Amino acid sequence: MPLDQALKSALRDKVSTANKTNVDDIAAQVQEARASLAEDDKDYARLGGWLDDLAVVKGGQVIGRFGDTIDKAP
């Protein structure tokens, strides 16, 4: 069953405004929503991407800023 549109919208807003002080709480909310989805659901993959973005924020970087990437190759 796809993720409820209102919940998806609320989570997307939280992810887009995440910072180091609230990133753990938001990640927990995203993980909770993701746990209710089948692995072949497109929202499951989307929330996985959001968790990746939140990991970048937790690391002190800014999503989309030039030079900040998830993979820092040597």
* pLDDT tens digit sequence for 20-43: 999 999 999 999 999 999 999 999
What pLDDT, on a 0 to 100 scale, did the predictor assign at position 74?
Answer: 43
Q: Where are the domains of the chain?
A: 5-58
pLDDT for 63 equals 65
Residue holding tokens 């989307």?
Answer: 46
pLDDT digits (tens, 9 = 90+) for 35-74: 999 999 999 999 999 999 999 899 877 666 555 555 544 4
HEC string of the chain equals CCCCHHHHHHHHHHHHCCCCCCHHHHHHHHHHHHHCCCCCCHHHHHHHHHHHHHHHHHCCCCCCCCCCCCCCCC
Given a cut of 50, is residue 17 above it in pLDDT? yes
Q: Say if CB 27 and CB 52 are below 8 A apart.
A: no
